Amino acid sequence: MTDAVCYRDAYARSIEAVVRAVDHSADGPLVVLDRTVFYPGGGGQPSDRGVLFRSADGRRWVVRAARKSGADIVHELEPLTAEAATGDRPPAIGDRLAVDLDWTRRHALMRTHTALHALCGVVWRDYGALVTGGNMEPGSGRMDFEFERMSGDLVAEIESKVNLELAVGRDVRVDVLPRDEAFAIPDLIRTKVNLLPPGIEEIRTIEIVGLDLQADGGTHVANTREVGGIRVTGYESKGRINKRIRIELADPA
C-alpha cells in the first residue's frame, strides 16, 4: 500500500521514498513507491505531475501522471529515449528517490477545487440545486447543476455571492469519518448520483466552515482567502434540467 501523503497534507511538496515496484511499459515506465506526495486524480481533479530524483547519480525522471491501482499509486514516467541502451534506465526496486511535485500546477488545482466547492455551497444553500457533473484544470473549471433555467443575471448573482464567501476567509477542514457517521450528515452527497462505492468504510470530507460540507477526495487550500476571487466565464444548457457554469480564478498566479 502506498502511503498517500496528499490526503492528509495537501501542502507537502517533496518527500523521500523507496521504489517498491517497476513495470517496463511500452508507453513509459510505471513506478510504485512506498509513499508519495502525488495526487492520483479523481473527482474531476487531474493527477499531479513532477519529477523523481536519485541523488546517488543525479538521475531525474519526469512524472507525467499518477493513478490509483488498488491500494497503490502508480507514477507514469515519460517514455525513455533512444539513449536507454547506453544508460538511460528507469529507477530500480529499492532505490531511494526524492519525489517532487510541480507545485505551481498543484497549488492552482487546490485553489480551483476549493473555488468549485464554494460555488457548489452557494448554489445548494441559495437555490437547492444538486451537482450533476464537474471537471477542472489549473485555474479554471466547470460544474453542472440541476437547474431548469439559467440567465446572465442569475450567474452574475452567483458569481457575486461566491466571491463574498471566498473573501470572508473561511477555514477549509479535512476529516475522515466512519461510513455510518458520514452518511448521517444531511446533504453530504451533493451529486445527483452517489458515486461512493458501497465497500468504502471511511469517507473523507471537506468542509468550508460555515458554507459547505461534502464528501470529497481531492486537495484544497486551507482558507478561502487563498483562492482569491473567481470570474464566471460562461454558462450553457446541457439538457432540460442540466445547466453548466464555467469559472476561472481571477488571479491565476
**What pLDDT is recorded for position 226?**
97
* Co-location of 93 and 167 in the same domain: no
Mean pLDDT of 198-226: 90
91 within 8 A of 31, measured Cβ to Cβ: yes
Task: Looking at the structure, tell me whether residues 91 and 113 fall in a common domain.
Answer: no
**Considering the chain, what percentage of its residues have pLDDT values greater than 70?**
91
| Of residues 193 and 179, more confidently modeled | 179
Strand 212-215's sheet: what is its strand order? Answer: 172-178, 202-208, 212-215
Residue 84 burial class via C-beta count within 10 angstroms: exposed 0-12, middle 13-18, buried 19 and up: exposed
Say which range, 10-19, 195-204, 231-240, has the weakest mean pLDDT. Answer: 195-204
Q: Based on the domain organization, do 11 and 132 belong to the same domain? A: no
Q: What value does the mean pLDDT take over residues 114-134? A: 94
- Is 68 in the same domain as 175? no
Domain-ending residue, one of 68, 101, 134: 101
- Helices 152-168 & 103-127 angle (0-180, nearest 10): 120
Please indicate, yes or no, whether residues 13 and 53 belong to a single structural domain of this protein. Answer: yes
| 94 and 124 both lie in a single domain | no
Of 240, 214, 219, which Cα lies nearest the Cα of 40?
219
SS3 37: coil
Q: Are residues 7 and 110 in the same domain?
A: no
3-class state of residue 112 by DSSP:
helix
- Domain tally, the chain: 2
- Give the domain extent around 14: 3-101
Residues 60 and 147 in one domain: no
Residue 97 shares a structural domain with residue 82: yes
Exposure of 157 by Cβ count < 10 A (0-12 exposed, 13-18 middle, 19+ buried)?
A: middle
> Could you tell me what percent of the chain has a pLDDT over 90?
72
Is 87 found in the same domain as 141? no
* 158 and 193 assigned to the same domain: yes
Q: pLDDT digits over 150-190, tens only? A: 999 999 999 999 999 999 999 999 999 887 887 787 766 65
Using the 3D structure, point to which of 75, 101, 127 is the last residue of a domain: 101
Residues 128 and 80 in one domain: no
Provide the pLDDT confidence category of residue 199 given band limits of 50, 70 and 90: low
